[in-house]
Every structure is written in C-alpha cells, then in structure tokens.
Amino acid sequence: MKTLRSVAVVLISVIWFVPSYLIIVNAFTPSDAYTGEARWVPGGAALLANMAAAWDAAKLGPSMLNSLAYAVIAGLLAVLVAAVAGFAVTAIPGGRRVLWFWVIYAGSLFPAQAFLRPLFTGYAESGLYDTRLGLLLIYVATCIPFSFFILRNHMLTLPSEIAEAAQLDGAGWWRIFTGFFLPLSRSALAAAFIFQFVWVWNELLFGITLSYSESIRPVMAALAGLQSAYGTVGPPVVLAGALLVSLPTVIVFLAFQRVFASSLGGTRI
C-alpha cells in the first residue's frame, strides 16, 4: 500500500510538472526558429532575449510596479480587516459565531464572474473604472474572506484564558486584540498576507475588466495584451514573459514556505 501511494505521488508530480517543463523549454527557443510544434528539448539559449522582448513589447515594468502596489496594499488591508473579524468571532462573547463565519467566508465561495456585470456598471457610473482605487477596493474585498478563514481558524487555537486574564487586569477588547492576539498570530498573519499577495499578483479577470490604461492595469492584464500580439512577437516570447512575471510569486513562496507549514495545520468550522 505504501509503495502504491509513493508511485501515485510521483505520477501526480510528473503530470503537474510537464506543463511547466514545456513552458521553460520552449521559452529558450529563438522566436524566429520556432516551428509551431512543442519542443521537449531546448532549441537554443534565447531565454533572456525572449524575456527582454516580452518586457519591451508588453511594457511589463510599469504593470509589475502596479501589481506590486496592489498586492502589498490590498494584502495588508485585507489581512488587518480579517484579523479584526476573526478576533470578534472567536474571543468576544456572543451568539451565532458559526453564522457570522459563514456570512464572511461565503464571499470566497461565489465565482468572480457573477460580480463582473454589476461591478462594471457600478464602476462606470461612480468614476472608479480604470482607477487604482477601484482595483484596490475590489482586491481588498475579495481577499478578506479567505484571510478571515485562515486567521479565525488560528485564533480558535489560542487559549481563551488569555482574554479572561487580560480582562481581569482591566484590559479592553482593543488592548487584548493588539497586545495579545496579534502578536500570537504573527505566523498566521504572514501566511494570510502571502496567500493574498500571490492571488492579487496572479489575478487577471478584474484587471482586464475594470481597467484598460497601461498606467493602471496589473501585470497579468499586460501579459494578456502580449498574448493578443501572439503573431507579432511569437510564442517563445509570450512564454518567456509568463516565466518572467511568475518569478516574484515563486520567490515569495519559496522564501516563506515554512510559514505555510507552521500556520495552516488544520481547519475548524
């Protein structure tokens, strides 16, 4: 049984890695030497040249700075709001805690496509369309439910005696939250932020729907624009651009992988 499990894990890992391998190998191929068929071995050493071509064609520099700002600001704000909500439904006495959990967490259960039409109409009428503020608002709103899920589950593991002892010493709820629960939730806060950073960085749907200016759009929207120029720049350049814009999230994940292991050990509802 153990051998079969190991074989299954290896097969799943290979199947998962094959598309990534093909992207990397074909990104090395010079654009003028690409024949239209997927290569299984490198056809050259043009990866850096293809990345440079993608950088210039899609103007990835400004869009990467935009995505960096969106990911950092939206991630921080969403995690802060989620931490307050998680504290409220775990430490503060009151009924219907499970109901409030589902009310907040349900925001991550509905498909994003269901919000596009009312969002586009509302943004167009309110002047938020094609603005950094508009994208930040929707990113914060969509990041809160899952961050709340992580932080609420973590705070459930903290001893209830912490809040009781602090109250006996005269501490208010805000003091208990900032002085005890936040410091004890640092690993969970970091994990939630990293999750949201990666999600905002890779988000495409809202980026192409709620913005069109090069000075506003996030990096994935810029990459989508590069793909629309498929016949001009060539598939290897598009693939190299995809590798280039994925590097920040890969670096962040590898640098903080221990945070995931230590913070996401279990879930409770």
What pLDDT does 50 receive? 85
Q: pLDDT (tens digit, 9 = 90+) per residue, 76-95? A: 999 999 999 999 888 887 76
Q: Residues 48-263: name the CATH superfamily.
A: MetI-like (1.10.3720.10)
Q: Are 253 and 198 in contact (CB under 8 A)?
A: yes
> How far, in Å, CA of 135 to CA of 144, rounded?
14
> How far, in Å, CA of 177 to CA of 193, rounded?
18
Across the range 102-119, mean pLDDT stands at 81
**What b-and-e string marks burial along 155-165, b requiring 16 or more CB atoms within 10 Å of the CB?**
bbebeeeebee
What pLDDT does 70 receive? 95
pTM: 0.83
Q: pLDDT (tens digit, 9 = 90+) per residue, 126-166? A: 989 999 999 999 999 999 999 999 998 888 888 888 877 88
What pLDDT does 28 receive? 84
